[in-house]
Structure 1
């Protein structure tokens, strides 16, 4: 599809700069906000309506937060091709609602390295669910918008304001490229850190 209406968003961010203002913009235009842990608390503290990921999945966060978003009710909602009737029929059959916007930035692994944490502590700063959501949304940019960093909030808001809360395919493709760039840099940093003798 060319123009994608934004009605439902999942926000899960480590860097919360600009989060509340962007989320308030979305909410004020009727976008449903779904969120995790600390992001959810920040939105609730700002008085914004937000649905917990655990309410969507029907499953609590487990393993100290290692498993939150790794669930079919999240990833099917991200990966469904909205132009494919079979995909949409499957979502309806399984009671899964699609997402239109994924706003994710990753655990601060670079900060963990700078703080010279132990290997065991640093490993806990390796994000798993975040890159999975970013990559899934980037793959499916025909049907969803991914924002992989705080610097994209303003351009996204401008795009949405200019198009009556819809976002064009060109912008979605641009953000998909930036998303893969972000996860590539993140993985390269982790790879370098873990390499023996590095």
Structure 2
């Protein structure tokens, strides 16, 4: 798939700068927004229609937010190859709606490390669902667009304004950057854990 129209997007971000404006633009273009926790509250406070992830998964966020998006209704919608009829049939069979865009940035573990938190507290800032969604979306860039940071909002907006869709070239570029981000994130956590006693 070359040109990807955006009809359904999941937004779950730590850095919320510029998000309300970006999400408002998406809504104006007819995009359905799905979101989690604090991001969903911010979007609702901005007056935007947003579907809670728990409504998509039919399961509440649990374990203090540790488990929110780790669910087939989310990852099936991310990982389905839209050019593969068998994948589309599975989505229909299990009533899973595909996503077209995943906009995620990660818990700020670097800040937790700088604060010198106790190890038990610091590990709470290790993002699990975020990297899973980022990596899944980046893997499936032929069918979905990953947005790994606020610095990409303007470029995404321009492609939609100019073409009504996101190009394959931009999706591949963002996927490449995403794998760089997640690998650096894991390396930072590895270094931190190696330097602290249990």
TM over 0.5: yes
Question: Could you list the per-position Cα deviations for residues 7-54 of structure 1 after superposition, in whole angstroms to 9, with x for gaps in the alignment?
Answer: 000000000001100000000110000000000000000000000000
Corresponding residue of 1:176 = 175
Instruction: Tell me, yes or no, if structure 1 residue 61 matches structure 2 residue 61.
Output: yes
TM-score (normalizing by structure 2): 0.98
Question: Could you list the per-position Cα deviations for residues 40-82 of structure 1 after superposition, in whole angstroms to 9, with x for gaps in the alignment?
Answer: 0000000000000000000000000000000000000000000
Structure 2: segments with no counterpart, 5+ residues: none
Corresponding residue of 1:30 = 30
4+ residue stretches of structure 1 with deviation over 6 A? none
Q: 1:25 to 1:190 in 2, by over 3 A?
A: same
What is the CA-CA distance between 1:196 and the residue it aligns to? 4.0
Corresponding residue of 1:70 = 70
Are the counterparts in 1 of residues 33 and 51 from structure 2 also a CA contact under 8 Å? yes
Instruction: Tell me, yes or no, if structure 1 residue 157 matches structure 2 residue 157.
Output: yes
TM-score (normalizing by structure 1): 0.98
Structure 1: segments with no counterpart, 5+ residues: none
Corresponding residue of 2:194 = 195
Q: Return the alpha-carbon distance in structure 2 between the equivalents of residues 23 and 66 of structure 1.
A: 24
What is the CA-CA distance between 1:160 and the residue it aligns to? 1.1
Name the SS for the 1:124 alignment partner. helix
Name the SS for the 2:125 alignment partner. coil
Are the counterparts in 1 of residues 119 and 196 from structure 2 also a CA contact under 8 Å? no
Instruction: Tell me, yes or no, if structure 1 residue 5 matches structure 2 residue 35.
Output: no
Q: Return the alpha-carbon distance in structure 2 between the equivalents of residues 197 and 67 of structure 1.
A: 26
Q: Return the alpha-carbon distance in structure 2 between the equivalents of residues 189 and 14 of structure 1.
A: 17
Number of residue equivalences: 197
What is the CA-CA distance between 1:123 and the residue it aligns to? 0.2
RMSD over aligned Cα atoms: 1.0
Name the SS for the 1:11 alignment partner. strand
